[in-house]
Structure 1
Amino acid sequence: MSVINTDLKGKANPTEQPVDEVERHLPIAQLFTLGLQHVLVMYAGAVAVPLVIGGSLGLPKEQIAFLISADLFCCGIVTLLQCLGVGRLIGIRLPVIMSVTFAAVTPMVAIGADPTIGLTGIFGATIASGIIATLLVPVIGRLMPLFPTVVTGVVITSIGISIMQVGIHWAAGGKGNPDYGNPLYLGTSLVVLVFILLVTRYAKGFLSNISVLLGILFGFGIAAAMGKVSFAGIADAPWFAPIKPFAFGWPTFEPVSIITLTVVMLITFIESMGMFLALGDIVGRPTKQEDIMRGLRVDGIGTVIGGVFNSFPHTSFSQNVGLVSVTGISSRWVCVMSGGILITFGLIPKMALVVASVPQFVLGGAGIVMFGMVLATGIRILSRVNYTTNRYNLYIVAISLGIGMIPVVSHDFFSQLPAAIQPLLHSGILLATVSAVILNYYFNGYKPDGATDKEPSDQRVDKVEVKE
Structure 2
Amino acid sequence: MNRHQEQSLLNHIKGASSLALAGIQWFFFLFTNTVVVPLSIGHNFQLSPEAIAASMQHSFLLTGAVCILQAFFGHRYAVMDGPSGLWWGLTLSLTVSASSAGMSLERIGGGLAAGFLLAGLTMMILGWLGAAHVLQKLFTPMVKSAMLFLMTIQLTMNFFKGMIGYTEFGTFNLPVAALSVAIAFLVALIQLKGRGKLGNYSILIGIVTGWIAYSLVFPGQHTGVSGHHDVSLFSWFPWGTPKWEPGIVITAFFVGLVNMTNSITTLSSVEKIYGVQTTSQQYKRSYMFTGLFTMLSSCVGVLPFGLFASSIGFLESTRILKRAAFVVGAGMLCMLGLTPSVTAFFAQIPPSVGSAVLFVAYLQMFGTALRTLEGTKFNSKTIYRVALPVLTGVAVMNIPAEAFQSLPMYLIPIISNGLVIGVVVSLLLETTVDWSKMDNTTPASKAA
> Do both share a fold (TM > 0.5)?
yes
CA shift, 1:219, in A, is 1.6
Asked if 1:418 is matched to 2:408, the reply is: yes
Preserved CA contact (<8 Å) 2:80 2:307: no
Q: Please point out which of 368, 374, 393 is paired with 2:382.
A: 393
Give the equivalent residue in structure 1 for 2:139. 147
| 3-state SS of 1:419 partner | coil
Aligned length: 406
CA shift, 1:149, in A, is 3.0
Identity of aligned residues (%): 14
Cα distance in 1 for residues equivalent to 2:253 and 2:320: 28
Question: Which residue identity lines up with residue 165 of structure 1 in the other structure?
Answer: M
Give the equivalent residue in structure 2 for 1:170. 162
Q: Please point out which of 73, 76, 96 is paired with 2:61.
A: 73
| 3-state SS of 2:376 partner | coil
| 3-state SS of 2:422 partner | helix
Q: Please point out which of 343, 366, 370 is paired with 2:357.
A: 366
Q: Please point out which of 405, 422, 425 is paired with 2:394.
A: 405
Q: 1:344 to 1:34 in 2, by over 3 A?
A: same
Cα distance in 2 for residues equivalent to 1:186 and 1:206: 29
Question: Which residue identity lines up with residue 406 of structure 2 in the other structure?
Answer: Q
Question: Which residue identity lines up with residue 27 of structure 2 in the other structure?
Answer: G
Asked if 1:301 is matched to 2:286, the reply is: no
Q: Please point out which of 150, 153, 158 is paired with 1:158.
A: 150
Cα distance in 1 for residues equivalent to 2:259 and 2:416: 13
Cα distance in 2 for residues equivalent to 1:423 and 1:119: 12
CA shift, 1:163, in A, is 1.7
| Bigger mean CA offset, 103-112 vs 25-34 | 103-112
CA shift, 1:34, in A, is 5.0
Asked if 1:236 is matched to 2:232, the reply is: no
CA shift, 1:396, in A, is 0.9
- 1:317-339 residue CA offsets vs partner (Å, 9 max, x unmatched): 87x83994799457576775664
Asked if 1:316 is matched to 2:306, the reply is: yes
Cα distance in 1 for residues equivalent to 2:438 and 2:290: 30
- 1:52-76 residue CA offsets vs partner (Å, 9 max, x unmatched): 5574xxxx87666545533443343
Preserved CA contact (<8 Å) 2:115 2:252: no
Q: Please point out which of 16, 38, 46 is paired with 1:46.
A: 38
Give the equivalent residue in structure 2 for 1:14. none
Give the equivalent residue in structure 2 for 1:97. 82
| 3-state SS of 2:305 partner | strand
CA shift, 1:401, in A, is 0.8
| Unpaired segments ≥5 residues, structure 1 | 1-24, 456-468
Q: Please point out which of 181, 187, 203 is paired with 2:194.
A: 203
Q: 1:113 to 1:190 in 2, by over 3 A?
A: closer
| Bigger mean CA offset, 327-336 vs 357-366 | 327-336
**How well do the aligned residues superpose, as a CA RMSD in angstroms?**
4.6
Q: 1:357 to 1:300 in 2, by over 3 A?
A: same
Cα distance in 2 for residues equivalent to 1:313 and 1:201: 30
Question: Which residue identity lines up with residue 443 of structure 1 in the other structure?
Answer: V
Cα distance in 1 for residues equivalent to 2:342 and 2:271: 31
CA shift, 1:223, in A, is 1.0
User: Under a length normalisation based on structure 2, what TM-score does the superposition of the two structures give?
Assistant: 0.71
CA shift, 1:369, in A, is 2.0
| Unpaired segments ≥5 residues, structure 2 | 1-16, 441-448
Asked if 1:433 is matched to 2:423, the reply is: yes
| 3-state SS of 2:383 partner | helix
CA shift, 1:31, in A, is 3.6
Asked if 1:35 is matched to 2:24, the reply is: no
Preserved CA contact (<8 Å) 2:49 2:225: no
CA shift, 1:417, in A, is 2.6
